[in-house]
Amino acid sequence: MSWDTVRLEWDGDVATLTVDRPDALNALNIETLEAMGEALEEAAAEGARALVLTGAGDAFIAGADIKYMQDLSTAEGEEWGALGHDVADALEAFPAPTIAAINGYAFGGGCEMAMACDLRVAAESALIGNTEIDLGIIPGWGATQRLPRLVGDETARRMIFLGERLDAESAAEAGLVGEVVPDDELEDVIGELATRLASKPAFAMQTAKQAINQTHEGSQESGIAYEKRAFASLFGTHDQREGMAAFVEDREPDFE
Q: pLDDT higher for 141 or 234?
A: 141
Is residue 38 pLDDT above 90, yes or no?
Answer: yes
pLDDT averaged over the chain? 94
Which residues are catalytically annotated?
112, 132
What CATH number was assigned to the domain covering residues 201-249? 1.10.12.10
Report pLDDT digits (tens) over 125-141: 999 999 999 999 999 99
With a CB cutoff of 8 Å and minimum separation 6, the contacts of 155 are 174
Return d(Cα 3, Cα 20) in angstroms, integer.
9
Angle at 235 between CA 20 and CA 219, to 5 degrees: 80
Q: Are 166 and 159 within 8 A, CB to CB?
A: yes
Return d(Cα 54, Cα 88) in angstroms, integer.
14
Return d(Cα 82, Cα 115) in angstroms, integer.
17
Is residue 21 pLDDT above 70, yes or no?
Answer: yes
pLDDT for res 223: 74
Report pLDDT digits (tens) over 42-83: 999 999 999 999 999 999 999 999 999 999 999 999 999 999
* Confidence class for position 123, pLDDT limits 50, 70, 90: very high
Task: Give the mean model confidence (pLDDT) for residues 75-92.
Answer: 96
Report pLDDT digits (tens) over 146-163: 999 999 999 999 999 999
What CATH number was assigned to the domain covering residues 6-198? 3.90.226.10
Largest CA distance in the chain: 55
Task: Give the mean model confidence (pLDDT) for residues 185-200.
Answer: 97
Return d(Cα 183, Cα 123) in angstroms, integer.
5
Task: Give the mean model confidence (pLDDT) for residues 234-240.
Answer: 89
Is residue 206 pLDDT above 80, yes or no?
Answer: yes
* Confidence class for position 217, pLDDT limits 50, 70, 90: low
Is residue 41 pLDDT above 70, yes or no?
Answer: yes
Type of residue found at 128: I
pLDDT for res 221: 77
Provide the residue ranges of all domains of the chain, joining segments of one domain with +. 6-198, 201-249
Percent of the chain as helix, strand, coil, to the nearest 5? 55, 15, 30
* Confidence class for position 191, pLDDT limits 50, 70, 90: very high
pLDDT for res 1: 80
Instruction: Please state whether the predicted TM-score (pTM) of the whole model is above 0.85.
Output: yes
Q: Are 62 and 102 within 8 A, CB to CB?
A: no
